Amino acid sequence: MNRVRSRGFTLTEVMISVVLSIMVFAALGMLLTRCFSLWVDGQANWNLAQHARVTRSRLLNGAFGVGTGVINGSNVTVQAGTDEWEGWQSVRFELVDQAEYYQIYASPGANQMNICIEKEGEPEVALAQEVRYRSGGDPLVKVNNFGASVTNKHLTMTYTLNFSAMGKNFELPQIIEAYLVNN
């Protein structure tokens, strides 16, 4: 008797193809997960860099128009925080060509940590580290360890920007140095 071979797949061939397919899809899934993770990290780091650029510009050049920043300041003093602001510092300066005083300080509140810039005598306060102004709620980018020192017409401000995305925390330490035109 002649055996006629069927044209279908054997159980062994099907099992091998299923195992190979599972391995290929698992590798693709791991690759896509890693790519998404790298994309989230890149977006978070770009976001922090954008906020760092805005913060630096507002602190040095001014948050209330060009020429209202610390590089146009004189009589710069650094004050230590008290009570709930223990360990935080503020910077007070006068504009060279005007008799206006400004103050840079970090507001460590319960959940909000902002670098604020305030024109003394005015109710308006600008957030230094926010690319866009937000009303209410936590800031998008928070600040840790705001400190400052003035020595020999040289102002140094240090702080760390923090950003959270997809359950991960990202930090970007900053040091801003300004040489003052007057003492």
Predicted confidence (pLDDT) per residue in 91-100, tens digit:
888 887 777 8
Is there a contact between 58 and 51 (Cβ–Cβ < 8 Å)? no
| pLDDT at residue number 108 | 65
| pLDDT at residue number 83 | 61
**Cα–Cα distance between 161 and 159 in angstroms, integer?**
7
What mean pLDDT value characterizes the chain?
82
| pLDDT at residue number 19 | 97
| CB atoms closer than 10 angstroms to residue 134 | 11
First vs last C-alpha separation in the chain: 110
Q: Interior CA angle at 86 toward 81 and 89, to 5°?
A: 35
Q: Which residue has the higher pLDDT, 104 or 82?
A: 104
Tell me the pLDDT tens digit for each residue of 1-47: 567 667 888 999 999 999 999 999 999 999 999 999 999 899 889 88
Checking if the pLDDT of 183 tops 70, the result is: no
| pLDDT at residue number 24 | 97
Cα separations in angstroms, 17 against 23, 25, 127: 10, 12, 59
Query: Which run of H or E residues covers position 26?
Result: helix 11-61
Q: Which two tokens stand for residue 25?
A: 């899809």
Strand 125-127, strand 154-165: pairing: unpaired
